Amino acid sequence: MARILLIEDNDSVRETFELILQSAAHEVVSARTGIEGQAALDREVFDLVITDIVMPDRDGVEVISSLRKRKLSVPILAVSGGSRTSAIDYLEMARILGADATLAKPVMAQDLLDCVDRLVASRAG
Partner 1 sequence: MKRMLKSAKWRDLLVAVIVTILVWFPLVELDAFEEVYQYSRSHENWELDEVLLLALLMPGPLAWYAIRRAREAARLARESAKMAEDLAHAQKVDSLGTLAGGLAHELNNQLQPVIGLSGLLQNQIPPEDPRRRQVDLILSGAMRSRDAVERVLNFVHREQEALVPIPMSTPMRTLMELLEIGCPSSVRLAIEIDEAIPAPNMSWPDVESIVMNLFSNAISAMEGTGGKLLVRLENVTDAALLEQGYVARLTVQDTGTGIAPGNLKKVFDPYYTSKDVGKGTGLGLWQVHRLVTDAGGSLEVESQLNQGTTFTLLFPAETPGTNGFKD
Residues in the site for partner 1, rule: CB under 8 A? 10, 12-13, 15-17, 19-20, 23, 55, 58, 61-62, 64-65, 68-69, 81-82, 84-89, 92-93, 96-98, 104-110, 112
**Which of residues 44 and 85 has its CB atom nearest to partner 1 in the complex?**
85
- CA-CA distance, 2 to 25, in Å (whole number)? 8
In the complex, the smallest distance separating the C-beta of residue 108 from partner 1, rounded to whole angstroms, is 5
In the complex, the smallest distance separating the C-beta of residue 88 from partner 1, rounded to whole angstroms, is 6
Phi and psi for 79 in degrees, rounded to 5? -125, 135
Q: Which spans in the chain are helix H?
A: 11-23, 34-43, 59-69, 90-97, 109-124
**Which of residues 35 and 97 has its CB atom nearest to partner 1 in the complex?**
97
**Which of residues 96 and 121 has its CB atom nearest to partner 1 in the complex?**
96
**Which of residues 40 and 103 has its CB atom nearest to partner 1 in the complex?**
103
Phi and psi for 123 in degrees, rounded to 5? -70, -45
Strand 48-52: give its sheet, edge to edge. Answer: 27-31, 3-7, 48-52, 76-80, 101-104
